[in-house]
Amino acid sequence: MRIGILTGGGDAPGLNAAIRAVARRAFQLGHHVSGVQNGWAGCLEDGLIREMTAQDVRGILPLGGTILGTSRTNPLKIKDGVTTAMRTLRHSGIDALVAIGGDDTLSVAAAMHEAGFATVGVPKTIDNDLSVTDFCIGFDTAVGVVTDALDRLHTTASAHHRVMVVEVLGRDTGWVALMGGIAGGADLILIPEFPLTLKEVVAHLYRRRGDGKLFSIIVVAEGVSIPGVEAESREGDADAFGHVRLAKRGVGDLLASSVEHETGFETRVTVLGHLQRGGSPSPSDRIWATRLGACAADLIMAGKSGVIPIRRDGGVQVVALSDVIAETRRVPQDLYELSRIFS
Ligand code: F6P
């Protein structure tokens, strides 16, 4: 059997660990592997699928990014996109596909399965917002970057008695902001699930000063809406999956200016941006990408399709692709309230 591997959507640390696991498990059992380059674009254009050997996946475990490249190309938005993708894959001798990605990539994977092409997913997104699974490749590393940044910002905030606003990634949800903020001891965390107004932020900062706390660290998710701070007008055009570039809203920058204007407290902003997606994966991302990648290969070789291995209750479970993309998993109230203990 020949297995195709594809990585789609935003890159995330741990993708290479997953590619390696799929390929090595397939090689172990005597199967062939082809790499599809640049996500779904590689299924729509000629010349982007190539044979992979054991040599190709040697030494890639600790590497960030993806050796296959990625894109936000969406075959569902292209006339006959899924049919073309299936034809390209079959033309390259590929019998079945492992698609590693988030909700966008996996929604195409589900459509491929529906259309009759054997496809299995692997969950990846630093946003951590897929349903059902307790793990998405890249999230743990991203939280580590935010934590490290907050540790560093604490010392300089304290030295200058400043307010530090830290903008982090997270398209629709506040997982990176909340978990990074809790791990890094943020004083206030603003996420889409539990919005605060500018007035509430300002009142919070005055309260801290009143308590003798001369600096504050505010973590803000890039997609948050803060009544009193107009970020929406800066949004750019949407991509093929309908997402605008949230970094363009500059919500961190706008919040910092508004806070300084309202309070007179010296305020600085740090936008962590793609630093959160780069670099070497954490041990947890490596281990789980490896476990889920190897399981995805086993599923494909067993003739399964339309399914995805996930982490749940401490182990690997297999669920329908449609389950993980059914809805966006949001930060629950109890976790958010945990962060408010430290406000
Ligand atoms: O989907 C993951 C993600 O990193 C989001 O957190 C962020 O909004 C988006 O991708 C950024 O996309 P791009 O790298 O295309 O600018």
* pLDDT value of position 233: 66
Closest protein CA for atom 3 of ligand 1: 10
- pLDDT confidence bin for 171, thresholds 50/70/90: confident
Please give the biggest Cα pair distance in the chain.
69
CA distance 42 to 64: 20
Measure 241 CA to ligand 1 centroid, in angstroms: 12
134 is catalytic: no
Question: Which residues on neighbouring strands pair with residue 311, listed in sequence order?
Answer: 316
CATH 3.40.50.450 fits 2-138+281-324, yes or no: yes
CA distance 76 to 39: 13
Asked whether the predicted pLDDT for residue 225 surpasses 80, the reply is: yes
Element holding 86 (H helix, E strand): helix 81-91
Work out the burial of residue 283: count CB atoms within 10 Å of its CB; fewer than 13 is exposed, 13-18 middle, 19 or more buried: exposed
Measure 146 CA to ligand 1 centroid, in angstroms: 15
Per-residue pLDDT averaged across 242-259, rounded?
91
Q: Are 219 and 190 in contact (CB under 8 A)?
A: yes
Residues framing ligand 1 (Cβ under 6 A): 9-10, 102, 125-127, 169-171, 222, 245-246, 277
* pLDDT value of position 245: 83
Q: Rg (Cα) of the chain, in Å, rounded? A: 21
CA distance 201 to 217: 11
* pLDDT value of position 248: 85
> Which is nearest to 268 in space by CA: 196, 185, 163, 194?
163
Asked whether the predicted pLDDT for residue 318 surpasses 80, the reply is: yes
Closest protein CA for atom 8 of ligand 1: 171
Measure 238 CA to ligand 1 centroid, in angstroms: 12
* pLDDT value of position 148: 98
Strand 32-36 and strand 49-52: the pairing is antiparallel
pTM of the model: 0.97
Per-residue pLDDT averaged across 268-280, rounded?
98
Looking at residue 312, the DSSP 8-state letter turns out to be E
pLDDT 10s digits, 57-92 = 999 999 999 999 999 999 999 999 999 999 999 999
* pLDDT value of position 328: 97
Domain boundaries along the sequence of the chain: 2-138+281-324, 141-278
Q: Are 216 and 163 in contact (CB under 8 A)?
A: yes
User: What CATH number has the domain spanning 141-278?
Assistant: 3.40.50.460
Q: Confirm whether 2-138+281-324 and 141-278 share one CATH topology.
A: yes
Q: What are phi and psi of 251, to 5 degrees?
A: -65, -35
Asked whether the predicted pLDDT for residue 235 surpasses 70, the reply is: no
CA distance 182 to 184: 5
* pLDDT value of position 249: 87
Give the rounded percent of residues in the chain with a pLDDT score beyond 70.
99
Q: Are 209 and 265 in contact (CB under 8 A)?
A: yes
Closest protein CA for atom 12 of ligand 1: 10
pLDDT 10s digits, 185-207 = 999 999 999 999 999 999 999 99
**Ligand 1 atom closest to residue 239's alpha carbon, by position in its atom list:** 15
Element holding 35 (H helix, E strand): strand 32-36
- pLDDT confidence bin for 319, thresholds 50/70/90: very high
Residue type, 98: V
Opening angle at CA 170, ends 43 and 219, nearest 5:
160
> Which is nearest to 81 in space by CA: 108, 51, 56?
108
Asked whether the predicted pLDDT for residue 39 surpasses 90, the reply is: yes
Closest protein CA for atom 16 of ligand 1: 245
**Ligand 1 atom closest to residue 169's alpha carbon, by position in its atom list:** 6
Per-residue pLDDT averaged across 282-293, rounded?
98
> Which is nearest to 221 in space by CA: 258, 196, 241, 185?
196
Sign of CA dihedral 167, 214, 188, 147: positive
- In sequence order, the 6+-apart residues with CB closer than 8 A to the CB of 314 are none
Per-residue pLDDT averaged across 13-19, rounded?
98
Catalytic residue among 11, 103, 104, 127: 127
> Which is nearest to 82 in space by CA: 50, 49, 109, 63?
109
* Residue to mutate, 169, 222, 274, ligand 1, most ligand atoms under 8 Å from C-beta: 169
Asked whether the predicted pLDDT for residue 42 surpasses 80, the reply is: yes
Residues comprising the chain, all counted: 343
Measure 331 CA to ligand 1 centroid, in angstroms: 18
* pLDDT value of position 238: 84
Residue type, 97: L
* pLDDT value of position 231: 76
Q: Which residue has the higher pLDDT, 233 or 4?
A: 4
- pLDDT confidence bin for 213, thresholds 50/70/90: very high
Cα distances (angstroms) measured from residue 134 to each of 32, 137, 197, 223, 310:
30, 10, 31, 22, 7
What average pLDDT does the structure give for the chain?
96
Asked whether the predicted pLDDT for residue 236 surpasses 90, the reply is: no
Residue 319 has a CB neighbour count (10 Å cut-off) of: 16
